[in-house]
Amino acid sequence: MKKFKLTAVLLSISMALTFMPATVYAEADTADIGGADVTENEVYEDATAPEAAELPAIDYAALAYPELNIGESQGLVIGMDAPRLTGAKITLVSKPTGASSEYDAELINEEGIVFKIPIGAAGEYGFGRLVLTDADGNVSETYLSDLGMDISFTATEEALDTEAEAGEYEKEIITADISNGVDISSIAGGVKNALSNAGSDLLTTEQTSDGKFVVMLDPGHDASHTGASKNGIREEIYTLKIARYVAEELSNYPDIIVCSTRNSGACPVGGQPNAICLETRTQMAADAGADVFVSLHLNSGSSGMRGAEVYYPNSNYQPGVGASGQGLASHILSQLGLVGLPTRGTFIRVANTDKYPDGSRADYYSVIRNSKLRGIPGIIVEHAYISNAADAAIITNEEALRQIGIADATGIANYFGVTKEGSTPADPVKVEAFVRRLYRYCLNREPDANGLDYWKEKLMKKESDGANVAFGFFFSDEYKNSKASNDDYVETLYRVMMDRSSDSAGKSDWVGKLNGGTSRESVFKGFADSQEFANICKEYGIKKGTIDVNGTGSGSNNNGSNNSSNSVTPSPTASEGLKAFVSRLYTKALERNYDEEGLYYWCAQITGKYKTIDQVSTDGFFHSKEFLNKNLSNEDYVKVLYHTFFDREPDEAGYNYWLAKLKAGGTRDEVLAGFSGSEEFKILKRSFGIE
């Protein structure tokens, strides 16, 4: 992969810098966070509010360490093109208490901002408000979470007491060189990463019906779409070599099935344009039922840059996908550090213009963005800078390359929590206890023998998981017939999915969402994706799993009281206008008549509020395997968009505009968004009596 200008800094945990919170607080109860007394009520000292300014575009945010010990310092890098920036503050928030503290930037230059934050208390942390000041004194502010960068980390109480212990876990300093106009950092040494000692992430992925995980490896680039080339190394050749070593090592894990987007130098779609090739690779992952998409790359930049870095999805559109990607990225990066590669961190990069179907900012990289659109955590692993002599020497050493492949594979296996010995059988006593608590809390009764045996068998055979079994109870006829209010529904979710009573703020937020039209399925997913539910599943020795609210749950859809069929997919009556609208999507986009099953499915997705009309029109049809297999030229692609979204032939000026955009490097998703978001399409939808 060719390197964009912005580069991140990993701050040294051992760097001797003192750092005091800069915010003035009103009088209130204080809590210890980050080693300072802070309050939840933050105010400006000056009576006059700062003048608001336009927020500079933020490209990415990178966290140095997903987990660290108290007494150490966290590093956060905000990448942006802001040469006139003179000041920056970030708010650190304790998630359990809500207490917060604000810190000044340690380093600012035209490429980004670096924060170094000492951590004085154990717990889970996130980041709140980011305040930026320019050379004219104008102030702008935002929240990283609003940009799809919902970054968090955990601090543990196992502080390093002795120099010997500190030496074992020392993260070497990566020095900052502001005088270099190209990069804000250069690698001074390898970063020893202790994250591998933290254990495997709790599972947030799905297994195949036979209990195996599917990994789609993507050797970056190909003979038709070549990558970086430096020091005698061609990226597309060496990424395939790495992929083969990864696959070879993963073959030792009985619970993992390995697939690959290519097994030779050839383009997997016969030399089609790069945008089509990249999107097709993610569709290959979806068709294979992949749990993760791992794109393998090599970097190139200035000769002083070196080391491995991993990109993962932002938290927009499908937050669970972003969280899973972050966990996978951290595991792989930690393993690469253990084999001697300098590690630069894990990164999020957001697009400047691309949007997800819900209007939020999309991920910048096509394979990450399109993987998320298909519900798959996609990451990009940049193993080394082939423009650097030291990194190039590693990559051209066959044994070193094999060790890199093994490191990638080990990180993937650790993420899934699997071993070379295979899965450990579930404990039937713990599994039964898990099912019994669902009957008690959700249905308010003891289980009947048939129902108890049915759900136990599903979990014991790994045909289902915690999230999907719980889904089966909450959306069973028995629970629906209880006619629980939104208030009662949320309270039960807290008890079942978090094993506690609700907190007033959280409950108010969820009930407000339900009263505002959010579906119960979507709220359920919010609880199912929580760390608290993951902890419950770990306690009972079962896989957590996840729920796809855009369709049906991936586990059983049966009634919580017995094993009779009870489909979760809604089947409300669709209006004639909606049926006609979906029917024309078949004729215009796919150029064929609809099939009854497909028409019913898409109408049910819309009326059941699993997908919006725009999501069905774009993702459902234009990202479908059937449409992608047409391999349309840009000219034909734009014509189909005119027919589908405008119900007319293209006008010359508009047609030439969209073709020029594609020729200049614009993606088909960008063009698709232009059509689906147009006023002309809104008018077309209204003509069918829908919005």
Q: DSSP for 357-398?
A: TTSSEEESSHHHHHHHHTT--EEEEEEEETTSHHHHHHHT-H
Mean pLDDT, to the nearest integer, of 505-522?
87
CA angle (501 as vertex; 498, 507 as ends), nearest 5: 90
In the chain, what is the straight-line distance between the N-terminal and C-terminal CA atoms, in Å? 41
For 80, phi and psi rounded to 5 degrees? Answer: -160, 160
Mean pLDDT, to the nearest integer, of 189-207?
27
Highest mean pLDDT among 26-35, 179-188, 313-322: 313-322
97-101, 131-135, 308-312, 571-575 — which is least confidently predicted? 571-575
Point out which residues pair with 294 in neighbouring strands. Answer: 217, 379
Give the whole-angstrom CA distance, residue 440 versus residue 434.
Answer: 10
pLDDT in tens, 335-355: 998 888 898 888 999 988 889
Q: Which residues contact 123 (CB under 8 A, 6 or more apart)?
A: 94, 95, 96, 97, 154, 155
pTM, two decimals, is 0.46
> 618: which 2 tokens?
């774009």
pLDDT category at 549 given cuts 50, 70, 90 is: low
Give the whole-angstrom CA distance, residue 170 versus residue 66.
Answer: 15
Q: What percent of the chain has pLDDT over 70?
A: 77
325-329, 334-338, 441-445, 514-518 — which is least confidently predicted? 514-518
The predicted pLDDT at position 555 comes to 32
pLDDT in tens, 639-652: 999 999 999 999 99
pLDDT category at 310 given cuts 50, 70, 90 is: very high
Look at residue 73 and tell me whether its pLDDT is greater than 90. Answer: no
Look at residue 560 and tell me whether its pLDDT is greater than 70. Answer: no
For residues 539 and 571, is the Cβ–Cβ distance under 8 A?
no
Q: What is the dihedral of CA 585, 587, 593, 599, to 10 degrees?
A: 10
Q: Which helix (H) or strand (E) holds 85?
A: strand 85-94
Q: DSSP for 490-540?
A: HHHHHHHHHSSPPPHHHHHHHHHHHHTT--HHHHHHHHHTSHHHHHHHHHH
Highest mean pLDDT among 2-16, 336-350, 599-613: 336-350
Q: What percent of the chain has pLDDT over 90?
A: 35
> Between these two residues, 16 and 444, which has the higher pLDDT value?
444
Mean pLDDT across the chain, nearest whole number? Answer: 77
Helix ranges (H only) for 251-386 are 274-287, 319-338, 366-373
Structural domains of the chain sorted by starting position, each given as residue range(s) with its CATH number in brackets: 31-169 (2.60.40.1220), 195-416 (3.40.630.40), 428-540 (1.10.3130.20), 576-687 (1.10.3130.20)
pLDDT category at 7 given cuts 50, 70, 90 is: very low
For residues 198 and 417, is the Cβ–Cβ distance under 8 A?
no
For residues 90 and 21, is the Cβ–Cβ distance under 8 A?
no
For residues 546 and 529, is the Cβ–Cβ distance under 8 A?
yes
